[in-house]
Structure 1
Amino acid sequence: MIKKISSTQNSYIKELVLLKEKSRARKKSGLFLIEGAREIGLALKGGYNLDTIIFYPELFSEAQINQFADGSINCIEVSKDVYQKLAHRDTTEGVLAVAKHKEHALESVVLHSENPLILIAEAPEKPGNIGAILRTADAANVDLVIIANPKTDLYNPNIIRSSVGCVFTNQIAMGSTEDIITFLKEKQIHIYCAALQASVDYHTQDYTKSTALIVGTEATGLSQEWRDAATQNIIIPMRGEIDSMNVSVAAGILIFEAVRQRLMSN
């Protein structure tokens, strides 16, 4: 049976607004909001469990709910005012889901490849950059994305939106720089750090073996801890006046060079 809610003052709706707006509420409850049919579908494909489906019937029909919901998932029909209160986008499809967090500890990582390709971002803050990195990682089909010293909640609506749901399709882990370096060295994974200091051109290195590519923020770059741990520091040569580029763009260049080498070696 589908429940109906028409008031924005409903206590459950107020809880959902907090999930949308507050990282603290998401962490405390272990829940977050997903907006859009494609994103919900990718979350299900990525093994996420849904708690509730919320839909506005003028945009998303009850019949369409069947692609996501079975008898174990709550379904709520809401009014236009309620939906607009919960939706993050200006243009939307009329459906949201309340989903449960996944575990992102290093200890839960499973590497299926003998020569994994891993992308690591240290302390990224901007949700748009994180989303773009995850989208690129999905496009390259990397084995693992790790966020070192995370500054932003992974289930921030802006990350979900800017990643176009790729936050659900990548295997993602989080941890401290120290713990991640230990993890990589225990698994004998070569560490290539994008850095200005003591670097060689990125295309001169061999990424066909087990490889981790590490990028830092545009403002501060990678920490000394990463640069000291590197198998080799690498640099993307700049042809213009600036000495750095957007972190997601740099990550894309490095990842697809590794993919190119791996395709050529097969």
Structure 2
Amino acid sequence: MIKQITSSQNTYIKELYLLKEKSRERKKSGLFLIEGVREIGLAIKGGYVIDTLLFYPALFPESQLNQFNATPKNIIEISKEVYQKLAHRATTEGVIAIAKTKVCALKHLNFKTKNPLILVAEAPEKPGNIGALLRTADAANVDAVIIANPKTDLYNPNIIRSSVGCVFTNNIATGTTSEIIQFLKENNVSIYCAALQASQDYHTQDFTKATALVVGTEASGLSDEWLAHSNQNIIIPMQGEIDSMNVSVAAGILIFEAKRQRNFL
């Protein structure tokens, strides 16, 4: 029998609201919210365990629940008031999942090829930029995305939204800059840092071997530690007045040059 919750003041709903709003609550509980049919479907395909499904029947009829290949512990019908409290977007389809987080550790990364293409982003601050990076990485089917010194957790609703669910489709890990550099060196991955100093044009480099493309923030770029361990700094030549571009755009240019060299294999 499907449960029903109609009040936004319900204790459980208040707990879910905190999961939506607070990173520390997500880390403490090991749970997070996923909103939208496509996003939930991608999470299930990516091996995420769905704990609970909540649906607002005026937007998402009960009969549509069987499209999800998941067996949640609970299925709860919610009212418009509850849905509006939990929904991050005003125009989603009326269904929200509560899923279990994954441990995104470097030691869990597995590469399918001997020459992986890896995107590394150091200390990205804006969830929208992280989401765009993940979306670009998915489009190019890179082997892994590694976030160095993350400023927010991967299950921030803004990251899920801006990545259109690609946070679930990418092979992702997080770690400190030192840990990631050591990991790359141990796996014989060449490090190419997007930086102005001592750089060469990106398209002159050979990205067909095991490669990590490393990007920093638009404001401060990469830390000195990355530059000290870079095999080669690379630059995208600018033809206008500015000397930098949005980090996700820059990453996209670098990634697809590497894919071009690899003939999209």
* TM more than 0.5: yes
Supply the distance in 2 between the matched residues of 1:109 and 1:127 (Cα, whole angstroms).
23
| 1:151 alignment partner in structure 2 | 151
| 2:51 alignment partner in structure 1 | 51
CA deviation after TM superposition for structure 1 residue 70, in Å: 5.0
| 1:260 alignment partner in structure 2 | 260
Supply the distance in 1 between the matched residues of 2:201 and 2:77 (Cα, whole angstroms).
56
Structure 2 residue 149 is matched with structure 1 residue 139: no
Supply the distance in 1 between the matched residues of 2:71 and 2:235 (Cα, whole angstroms).
53
| 1:125 alignment partner in structure 2 | 125
Supply the distance in 2 between the matched residues of 1:30 and 1:69 (Cα, whole angstroms).
21
3-state secondary structure, aligned to 2:103: coil
Structure 2 residue 86 is matched with structure 1 residue 86: yes
Supply the distance in 2 between the matched residues of 1:157 and 1:118 (Cα, whole angstroms).
24
3-state secondary structure, aligned to 1:43: helix
| 1:109 alignment partner in structure 2 | 109
* 8 A contact 1:7–1:81 mirrored in 2: yes
| 1:10-29 correspondence to structure 2 within 5 Å | 10-29=10-29
Cα deviation, 1:99-158, whole Å, max 9, x if unaligned, reads 000110111111111110000000000000000000000000000000000011110000
Supply the distance in 2 between the matched residues of 1:38 and 1:72 (Cα, whole angstroms).
17
The percent identity for this pair of structures is: 75
Cα deviation, 1:157-210, whole Å, max 9, x if unaligned, reads 000000000000001000000010000001100100000000000000000010
Supply the distance in 1 between the matched residues of 2:106 and 2:56 (Cα, whole angstroms).
39
Runs of 5+ in structure 1 lacking a partner?
A: none
Of 230-239 and 72-81, more deviation after overlay is shown by 72-81
Supply the distance in 1 between the matched residues of 2:23 and 2:211 (Cα, whole angstroms).
32
CA deviation after TM superposition for structure 1 residue 64, in Å: 0.7
Supply the distance in 1 between the matched residues of 2:190 and 2:104 (Cα, whole angstroms).
22
CA deviation after TM superposition for structure 1 residue 83, in Å: 0.4
| 1:194 alignment partner in structure 2 | 194
| 2:242 alignment partner in structure 1 | 242
* 8 A contact 1:53–1:69 mirrored in 2: no
Supply the distance in 1 between the matched residues of 2:90 and 2:69 (Cα, whole angstroms).
25
CA deviation after TM superposition for structure 1 residue 69, in Å: 5.9
3-state secondary structure, aligned to 1:15: helix
> Residue 257 of structure 1 aligns to which amino acid in structure 2?
E
> Residue 146 of structure 1 aligns to which amino acid in structure 2?
I
Supply the distance in 2 between the matched residues of 1:2 and 1:206 (Cα, whole angstroms).
57
| 1:30-69 correspondence to structure 2 within 5 Å | 30-68=30-68
Runs of 5+ in structure 2 lacking a partner?
A: none
CA deviation after TM superposition for structure 1 residue 49, in Å: 0.3
Supply the distance in 2 between the matched residues of 1:160 and 1:250 (Cα, whole angstroms).
21
> Residue 230 of structure 1 aligns to which amino acid in structure 2?
S
Residues 105/70 of structure 1: CA separation in 2 closer, same or farther (3 Å cut) = closer
Residues 262/70 of structure 1: CA separation in 2 closer, same or farther (3 Å cut) = closer
> Residue 202 of structure 2 aligns to which amino acid in structure 1?
Y
* 8 A contact 1:193–1:215 mirrored in 2: yes
3-state secondary structure, aligned to 2:88: coil
Supply the distance in 2 between the matched residues of 1:238 and 1:227 (Cα, whole angstroms).
21
